[in-house]
Chains A and B, each alone.
Chain A
């Protein structure tokens, strides 16, 4: 399917009738059914993937079948409605957040234009408040007095197949980025709503393959890409060869080595594809420079966790490998690579789900002696924290001129910004490895940062137009700083970003490339005994 051209899309976004351009749908939202057509939905889960996952301990993924969202009949189980309502009741009992978020919204509209999907599509159902109303209307009808008595008068709705289809459409037009929750007077978090919607949909077998295939791969092989131990190690070995030919530095990473001090886990995309590969080279060089006693793991070879986009249970199951492997290998603490949603899971869920990690020690940097008190319980440190600390203590030698070819801006990934509060560390690193770099407009960075538009397993090609729309707010801010300062690099600390922003940039701002912060560190690193060639493009230089 040909993707809409940039000019067409530019025109469409700014001029075609939509709620962003000042028109309202002719009918109210309850009377506007969803229409699935090629390009506006991601493909459903493949049967074998779902069957495999359903067979695993502790998780349930029923109703594997071949189905098509465009069909009238979604082949739901006979009692699907009962399953959904009971599932909702169960979640209300387990999550106070859900009850509060269902009951407290006053529909003030503060969140409406904060969502990148709404800004890019102008579809009113992409206003965060509307997305929640899709669920809230059913909640009112089934669980509140007013809704039971007054029905539609009180904003209540029957749970119908049409409503379910609407859920499927809009639960997968949300990247759980939480930007709306920053602006909500009650902190209502659409990510929480979307997670519940997706869980409910999985109960009747409605999920998307781009989420479930990585989940099933990750469960079996340890990483989303489905890399076998051989492939995983092979990929890293290739990178080591590249590093050596570029810098003359020989790096010798180890795999599944017992007794190492640190277990290093990064998103597998970093060992799989550009531009993540360059970020990975940066890690390898950095660890070599400080002589870190660390090991990779092929079993826990994935930092990312598509379980977060699937269900709490699946998130826990996939995340459990990190601690299991740390314990098996007998390491002291865990170091995590650059990844956004991975860090939401580590920061806000990991310890609760799979802790306490009593077999580990409070992380202490072997190079600086810094004790990472902020990770005292979870015992997992972010590479940006680790690197910033190294720079602060003068433990690594950096030559900014080696990044002379880089004119950068920095993209705060949603989760480090809004679920960790990690804003300064990457900036501090950039200050120390780049001659200069430029911020995007204030309303588009830090806690107000815009999502890449393709997170939560939406980085699949069949919804490319949707992705280019939802990524527009981010791309537009990059374009702004490009117009002002002719930047050529968008730095970030996220693996999904590295993949999705590359696509987004090549569409909207083709002059800009995407780079992980650790790649820029690797570029600038001066290592004893090195034999660096003239690297006009840093670690990307073709030799």
Chain B
């Protein structure tokens, strides 16, 4: 159920666009109206979510230290794992965002009779994550060639770099990232099915983005390599440049597979800000990673620091004065004079 519903949903969404785009006059809806609406939702939603986060203060400095912090000068400290200033924090964040530092640390625990607990390094999740995210990044950049004219050199170069020139006809060159992203996504999906703990914690909201991305990738790959009839690249580019320059026009029929692809991408954009995919923005704001471990050197301010006083010394001494005097512990206020009986 958790995965069936998202799977069906993605298939239905793809069909909606496939069938819908063949209805006369609906091409404009699927080619222009929906992508614009999705983009507005994405940008608006993304900004709204980040503002929602930013509205709450960070009352305490709570970095997770994963290495030696600042001590005496002769104690070698770990600048990336227990950063002490903004530059070092930036370094830590860079490692986290660009190289998935924390996932690199991952271990797998096992238990054998005895009991003996074992831990071994495991980097599969790191690898699949890297495969997927970096393929996605390159694919997104590659797609820019469809939105701009003339195509910037860097984008063309990336395209050439990504396209393995295995094929005598360059326009049919295979993209490495097409294969890798599929590999990454399928691996991430298989993890959810095969690893017991991960299967147990997975929700529909975890399967849906995976199926959606797989849908986007498969429609994209099909369009390029298998279902090429009616995929008029000139017309597509005209539409996309039109979208990018806010002068959208649709001049010719484009095959429904294209509209399925575009519609699924639109769904992803619209869904993004309201889902866990916002980890893209959140990773930058995580207080355990983006703060310096300098809380004994510099006072961190909590804007809502409440006015709470400790139980006062005076109150304490009032309760225990006799006891203290008897023990010879200094007191601020002497015992009252005893009346002579």
Chain A residue nearest in CB terms to B326: A230
Complex contacts, B52 vs chain A, CB 8 Å: 99
* Residue in A21, A112, A347 whose beta carbon sits within 8 Å of that of B197 in the complex: A112
A9 to chain B: closest CB distance in Å?
Answer: 9
* Also in contact, A425 and B71, with CB within 8 A (given A96-B58, A192-B62): yes
Q: B278 an interface residue at 8 Å Cβ cutoff?
A: yes
Most B CB within 10 A of own CB, among A22, A103, A472: A103
- Is the CB–CB distance between A385 and B201 below 8 Å? no
Cβ of A183 and Cβ of B326 under 8 Å apart? no
* A182 at the B interface (CB under 8 A): yes
The reply to whether the CB of A375 lies closer than 8 angstroms to some CB of chain B is yes
Given A14-B112, A421-B68, A421-B69, A110 contacting B275 (CB threshold 8 A): no
Instruction: Tell yes or no: A40 within 8 A of B by CB.
Output: no
Q: On chain B, which size bracket covers the interface?
A: 35 or more
Chain B residue at smallest Cβ distance from A346 = B296
Q: In the docked arrangement, what's the CA distance between A389 and B286, Å? A: 34
Does A45 touch B at the CB level, under 8 Å? Answer: no
- A residues within 8 A CB of B204? 153-155
Instruction: Tell me the chain A residues, 84-126 only, with Cβ under 8 Å from chain B.
Output: 92-101, 103-110, 112-114, 119, 124
A325 at the interface (CB under 8 A from B): yes
Contact B69 A109 (CB under 8 A): no
A257 within 8 A of partner (CB): yes
CB distance from B320 to the nearest CB of A (A): 5
Does A317 count as interface, using CB distance less than 8 angstroms? yes
- Annotate B303-321 by CB proximity to A: 1 below 8 A, 0 otherwise: 0111111111100110110
Q: Which of B52-99 contact A (CB under 8 A)?
A: 52-62, 64-72, 74-78, 81-82, 96
Interchain CA distance A101-B195 in the complex, whole Å: 23
Choose the segment among B31-39, B100-108, B261-269 that binds chain A (4+ C-beta atoms closer than 8 Å). Answer: B100-108
The answer to whether B300 and A352 touch across the interface, beta carbons within 8 angstroms, is yes
Shortest distance from the beta carbon of B12 to any chain A beta carbon, whole Å: 15
- With A94-B56, A352-B302, A421-B78 as contacts: A109 and B296 at CB distance below 8 Å: no
Q: Is A127 located at the chain interface by the 8 A CB criterion?
A: yes
Q: Is residue B25 within 8 Å, beta carbon to beta carbon, of the partner chain?
A: no
Q: From the candidates B66, B107, B285, B324, name the one contacting A443 in the complex (CB within 8 A).
A: B107
> How long is the Cα–Cα vector from A425 to B72 in the complex, in angstroms?
9
B203 at the interface (CB under 8 A from A): yes
> Does the CB pair B59–A258 fall under 8 Å?
no
Given A182-B102, A377-B298, the answer on whether A424 and B56 have CB atoms closer than 8 Å is no
CA distance A378 to B70 in the complex (A): 14
The CA-CA distance from A233 to B58 in the complex, in Å, is 40
5 A-B pairs (CB sep. < 8 Å)? A109-B191, A183-B106, A421-B65, A441-B119, A472-B117
Tell me the A residues contacting B by CB distance below 8 Å.
10-11, 13-15, 19-25, 28-29, 56-59, 92-101, 103-110, 112-114, 119, 124, 127, 129-130, 133, 144-146, 153-155, 178, 181-189, 192, 219-222, 228-230, 233-234, 255-258, 298-299, 312-313, 316-321, 324-325, 328, 346-349, 351-353, 355-356, 370, 372-378, 380, 385, 388-389, 392, 417-425, 428, 441, 443-444, 446-448, 472-473, 476-477
Q: List the 5 closest pairs (A to B, CB-CB), nearest first.
A: A421-B69, A58-B308, A320-B310, A421-B65, A104-B282
